[in-house]
Amino acid sequence: MEYSIGTQFKTRGKAPRLCTVTDILKTYNSAGELVKTRYVAQHDFMGQKVNDYDVVAITIAMGLIPIEA
């Protein structure tokens, strides 16, 4: 499943962070086939924006925040 830019999720662990998907990175081989998809996620740390450039879809799926209507 592909997540759109702006999707919010929480990381797992002792101190979960609220992250937002800011970009989608796709890698193709020489035959034009999609090899992997990674997401760029951003969170705040002590007033600064920190980017993680290697987030997989499973990480987002496990921490997905339900949208309240």
* Model pLDDT, residue 33: 97
pTM: 0.85
Whole-number Å distance between alpha carbons of 41 and 56 = 10
* Model pLDDT, residue 68: 65
pLDDT in single tens digits along all 69 residues of the chain: 789 999 999 999 999 999 999 999 999 999 999 999 999 999 999 999 999 999 999 999 999 877 665
Q: 10 Å Cβ neighbour count for 39?
A: 23
